[in-house]
Chains A and B, each alone.
Chain A
Amino acid sequence: MNTTTTRLTADMQQSAARLEQTWRDPPGILGWFSAINHKTIAVRFMLTTMGFFLAGGVLALIMRLQLARPENHLVGPDFYNQLFTMHGTTMMFLFAVPVMQAVGSYLVPLMLGARSLAFPRMNAFAYWIFLFGGLMLYVGFLLDIGPDAGWFAYVPLAGPDYSPGKRVDFWAQMITFTELSALLEAIILITTIFKMRAPGMTLNRMPLYVWTMLVTSFMVLFAMPSVMLASTALITDRLVGTHFYNPAEGGDALLWQHLFWFFGHPEVYLIFIPPLGFMSSIIATFSRRPIYGYAAMVLAVIATAFLAFGLWVHHMYATNVPELGKSFFTASSAMIAIPTAIQIFCWIATLWTGKLSFRTPLLFALGFFFILTLGGLTGVMLASVGLDLQVHDTFFVVAHLHYVLIGGAVFPLFGAFYYWFPKFTGRLMSETLGRWNFWLFFIGFNVAFFPMHLLGLAGMPRRVWTYPASMGWGDMNLTATVGAAIIAVSVLLFIINALKSRRHGAPAGPNPWGAGTLEWGTDSPPPAGNFVAPPVCGGRYPLWEPDGVPARVTGLDDDRRAILTTTLMDARPDLRPTMPSPSIWPFLSAIAVTVLFIGSIFTPWAVVWGAVPVAIGTTLWFWPNRKSTERQVAREVRP
């Protein structure tokens, strides 16, 4: 397939060299901490989240070993409670949500034909904050300060009276870190998607994946403030004696549950919606045709986002919810299945009329259909008040949520890694290992989690560190543990495959899959400035357009970080702003903020004295440099 690289003229080659010079990250250890190129940060972000994914997986394995036999004493209740709290917290806050934003922060600019993300320094800052928050949690865990009140930290158990010490405070501050990072990423992505699309990429030509990231980012803006408020109130209850959750002084334990689930349920969709975009990219490419029903897909995603805010109470049926309320939340919880169904049917229609090539990415996408559909259907069961009263807080729910999150998010995510790995590294991953990886994961997953449905119905509650032999749950638990081991092997294969292919994989070239979206129109891995010449977009699948190569943009300086911004709706060329250059200050500011947050766990005054270094750091981050400013002024064109 034609690409820009195959038709470089001599002067374009010089220009490409200058661009590389302009956009690449500074060398050296200091340069490493000053890096702001969206691809550099995104790769670090992805590696970090994968690290947390593995950590959370190890915790899960220990839990499965403990539960493999009844009345097992491999670990005690104290450590077990820390294990499942850390597992849930890690997977939800340190893996699932951030990994989606990490992948997005790599792909979105490339898919839009942009040179960079908006606010690259803020992007670096968001990464460092996330990293420090996650490390804080794990250092605490290793020092026996691991949170032990569940990832949902229900008060009063997580409150000052029943969770003494600093364990829960570390958890609550970790929330502050990760939510801050996620909120910043959301702002960055929204701005990028609205203002930095290639000329001609009207909203209705935007790749479906970009749509999912746009919708997800907006959901973040509305969902995450809720949990930040909740955890702040929790920490003030614990540290300065406020009474938000103290019934004796007019507070209310359910206030926590409302605030938490108003965030917590949309969060599931923050995790689930971007993978819908992975699915659409992979299915289109490997069935050699556009996704059927573009408009329906977009509207379905938007509908999901709206409904997601209307069903948090279905986590609280067992509390005293008034009947009418329950009916409303039942209806909306069941209705959210419709948009997902629409998308599934559109994908099946696409496959039905496509020319299929069964490469590993498509295999993972197909795994989604089996697992997610099952998980979605158990979700419909949980939406019903009657059934929920029986299976709520049992292993049935554990099975359900893993079917939804692993089937709905992790399988497409793995597919996405196989699909875009060539773009990240310039090399293809091994197909053989890929197939082993997929089949082991698929089988292991079902062996591990299907029995949990039955366990739940047979009366086994969640979050139990052990169970009496007389309950007869032993065999199914043993089966689940075997399945967990199989999953571990397959993930190990994935790591081996990635490490091996990074060095010795088959060279990919710009577009190994013959895909249609812009990120495949540049080298693999892309140059520091993403595109030697920014493309102009002629359709939904520009690389599939009759003329193959999109027309390109000229007139952007290549000796400074000039980018093109376009208008909101129909992406007409608008401005030529200049992006900021690399800086150490985002990193240093992140450290200052970390000191403030951790300090405030021990004394409220940290908020005061900790604010000073933060103010200094952010000011120096913002403060312009005289020389480059003069260069800017020289070439300034006023509106």
Chain B
Amino acid sequence: MKPSMHESGALDVSALPTFGFGHRSLMWWGTFGLMIIEGTVFAITVAAYFYLRSHSATWPMNAAPPDMFWGTLNTAVLLASMLPNHLAKQAAEKLDLKKVRLWMVVCLAFSLLFLAIRVLEFTSLNTRWDSQAYGSVVWMLMALHTTHLVTDAYDSAVLTVLMYTGPLEGKRYVDVSENAMYWYFVVLSWLPIYAVVYWAPRY
């Protein structure tokens, strides 16, 4: 134990900052917990996908694999959206309001784009959730991830509005930075799901 703590009866902390970024902030740990939970959900759903596949003679069961185009395009869009997202995060950590506003708006534009494409993805899955177990699990994967896209897009929208209207204080920049981290998660967790939904039926 550091001596300073026992010299006087009291430990003065009044000089400490009132907010901080990364794992110094409580928010980061909250987001981290969410990411563990949702990562586990995705992992288990993928496991269920291959479990069902291992019990089926044919895969995909009497259905064509999903068309590649929209899914691949959306993957590209999602990956691209990481750039403005990254810049927004950096700006937030520099407490640079103007840049934060700019990049948050760009991110929003991206989220509208990939939500639109996601709709088209559903139309090109070539199966229905109630056709057979294959359709069910594919739709489950897509629905789970789409839920994350929607919620993340909505969070970012609310934050963006707040960035324009205020009231602002230091910890709002932390929120922006954590929101950006969550965005990374949503994009990166898509890659394995993309592989499973679009490539697994082909091999």
Indicate whether A and B are direct neighbours in the complex (CB within 8 Å): yes
Which A residues form the contact surface with B (CB < 8 A)?
118-119, 122, 183, 186-187, 190-191, 194-196, 199-200, 221-222, 224-226, 228-229, 232-233, 236-237, 240-244, 246, 249-252, 255, 258-259, 262, 533, 536, 538, 551-556, 562, 564-565, 568, 572-578, 615, 619, 622-626, 629-630, 632-633, 635-639
Task: Determine whether B73 belongs to the interface, using a CB cutoff of 8 Å to chain A.
Answer: no
List of B residues within 8 angstroms of A259 by Cβ: 44, 48
User: A573-B16, A575-B24 in contact; A629/B6 too (CB < 8 A)?
Assistant: no
Given A222-B36, A554-B10: A575 and B16 within 8 A (CB)?
yes
Interface membership of chain B positions 83-101, coded 1 if the CB is closer than 8 angstroms to chain A and 0 otherwise: 0000000000001000000
Enumerate chain B residues within 8 angstroms of A630, measured Cβ to Cβ.
167
Could you say which residues of chain B place their CB within 8 Å of the CB of A639? 17, 19-21, 24
Known: A619-B158, A630-B167. A222 touches B40 (CB 8 A): yes
Extra A-B contacts (11), CB below 8 Å, given A225-B44, A226-B44, A244-B52: A119-B30, A199-B13, A243-B133, A536-B11, A551-B9, A553-B11, A576-B13, A624-B172, A626-B166, A637-B18, A638-B95
Hey, which chain A residues are within 8 Å of B135, CB to CB?
Answer: 242-243
**Known contacts being A190-B33, A536-B5, is A243 close to B13, with CB within 8 Å?**
no
Q: Which of B110-118, B136-144, B189-197 contacts A (4 or more CB under 8 A)?
A: B136-144
Q: Is the CB of B13 within 8 A of A564?
A: yes
- B17 neighbours in A (Cβ, 8 Å): 575-576, 637-639
Most buried by B among A241, A250, A538, A572: A250
B20 near A228 with CB under 8 A, answer no
Is there an interface contact between A575 and B167, defined as CB atoms closer than 8 Å?
A: no
* Residues 69-86 of B contacting A (Cβ, < 8 Å): none
Q: Is the interface of A mostly helix, strand, loop or mixed?
A: mixed
| Nearest B residue to A232, CB-CB | B140
- State whether A575 touches B19 (Cβ < 8 A): yes
Contacts of A536 in B (CB 8 A): 5, 11
Tell me, in angstroms, the Cα distance from A443 to B94 when the chains sit together.
66
Q: In the complex, what distance in Å separates the CA atom of A314 from the CA atom of B8?
A: 57
Which B residue sits closest to A229, measured CB to CB?
B44
In the assembled complex, 8 residue pairs joining A and B whose CB atoms fall closer than 8 Å, in A order, are A118-B26, A221-B33, A233-B136, A242-B135, A243-B131, A244-B48, A250-B134, A252-B51
Smallest CB separation, A215 vs chain B (Å): 14
Query: B12 — which chain A residues lie within 8 A by C-beta?
Result: 553-555
Whether A252 contacts B52 in the complex (CB less than 8 A), given A190-B33, A624-B172, A638-B95, comes out as yes
Contacts of B25 in A (CB 8 A): 575, 577
Q: How far is the CA of A630 from the CA of B166 in the complex (A)?
A: 11
Asked if A258 contacts B20 (CB within 8 A), the reply is no
